[in-house]
Amino acid sequence: MSAEPVKQGISDIRRSARLSVAPMMDWTDRHCRYFHRQLSRHALLYTEMVTAPALVRGGAVHLLEHDPAEHPVALQLGGSDPAELAKAARMGQAAGYVEINLNCGCPSDRVQSGTFGAVLMRQPALVAECVRAMQDAVDLPVTVKCRIGVDDQDPEEVLPEFLARIVAAGCERVTIHARKAWLQGLSPKENRDIPPLDYDLVRRMKQLFPNLHISINGGVARLEEAAALLDGGLDGVMIGRAAYHQPWDILGTADARIFGAAPPQPGPEAAARAMLPYIERHLSGGGRLHQVTRHMLGLFAGRPGARAWRRHLSEGASGADAGPELVEAALERLAEAGRDAA
């Protein structure tokens, strides 16, 4: 794979956004994204959320480091201060990201205390100000990831108003996690499962805002479901947990099924081997094997030998001198277990 950045125009990004991998803290780090990029050349990838205060006040520019081969990648920012977000967006543009996304969906306590994430669903005027400030600061698309509402809000009422405000502020693309967040009483994990999904409301938003590129998110477990949502008129589907836990089933078949393009790898074994040069580079720079391979544990999910692969890789990878040969050995175990099962 080329190490040159993929120069993407806005129409290319809109096309990539037909299928995206959700921003996920501690999961979609640079190693995960590099791995996902071996599986799909076209899907849009998102960083973990990076807070604007960490970048602007904390000077934590290392949080922006990534490999150009990961592109197209969008940077997700957390924050609610328009001027600070504008500065952070500029830093993201300088670092090479193709889109800046504002997190209005994350319900965690830590995030609530900083007034960002899902609590911003209550402050559409402030979100619009943030979007406008970021859009004025960069030449990239500024997008928003939101919920359908929070707590006792009526999504039928607040979601159209929220969208109208951000559209007026210059946002042309949004991802809607199709459930409420309950800010009191539910953990972030419960907030990804318990509030019911309302896909119909998101579909109605597409009718109400025909020019807004709308991606739906939440509970999509199989690529076929994503294809059906696209066929039903939505512009994009964002997948989180399923893409992480079953990366081959979702991303390995996405280029053929969603983008009408040749898949980069013929199968999951080849995808594992495609990671070896990257792993070698990472190790020679002082990194640990586990930092990369922890994202690859689900590569054979649902296939014979998946457990042997997962076990061999997870048990061996944290050793200080674990190297790429462990990946080859785990592939051997997978093949043996597959033969035993046959």
Ligand X SMILES: Cc1cc2nc3c(=O)[nH]c(=O)nc-3n(C[C@H](O)[C@H](O)[C@H](O)COP(=O)(O)O)c2cc1C
Q: Which residues in this chain contact ligand X in the complex, by CB under 6 A?
A: 22-25, 27, 48-49, 76, 103, 105-106, 145, 177, 192, 217-220, 239-242
**1 annotated as ligand-binding:** no
Tell me: cis bond preceding 247? Omega within 30 of 0 counts.
no
CB of 207 to ligand X, least distance (A): 23
Q: Are 205 and 160 in contact (CB under 8 A)?
A: yes
**112 annotated as ligand-binding:** no
Q: Tell me how far apart the alpha carbons of residues 194 and 199 are, in angstroms, rounded to a whole number.
A: 15
CB of 295 to ligand X, least distance (A): 12
Q: Tell me how far apart the alpha carbons of residues 166 and 129 are, in angstroms, rounded to a whole number.
A: 8
Q: Which residues lie closer than 8 Å to 151 by C-beta, 6 or more apart?
A: 180, 181, 182, 183, 184
- Name which of 153 and 323 has its Cβ closer to ligand X: 153
**287 annotated as ligand-binding:** no
Catalytic residue positions? 106
- Name which of 102 and 169 has its Cβ closer to ligand X: 102
User: b/e map of 192-202 (b: 16 or more CB within 10 Å)?
Assistant: beebebbbebb
CB of 81 to ligand X, least distance (A): 18
- Name which of 71 and 192 has its Cβ closer to ligand X: 192
In the chain, DSSP finds a helix count (H) and a strand count (E) of: 17, 8
- Name which of 143 and 265 has its Cβ closer to ligand X: 143
Residue 190 three-state SS: helix
**240 annotated as ligand-binding:** yes
Eight-state DSSP code of residue 250: I
**42 annotated as ligand-binding:** no
CB of 102 to ligand X, least distance (A): 9
Nearest to ligand X by Cβ — which residue?
Answer: 240
Q: Tell me how far apart the alpha carbons of residues 211 and 84 are, in angstroms, rounded to a whole number.
A: 29
Known binding site for FMN: residues? 23-25, 76, 145, 177, 217-219, 240-241
Known binding site: residues? 23-25, 76, 145, 177, 217-219, 240-241
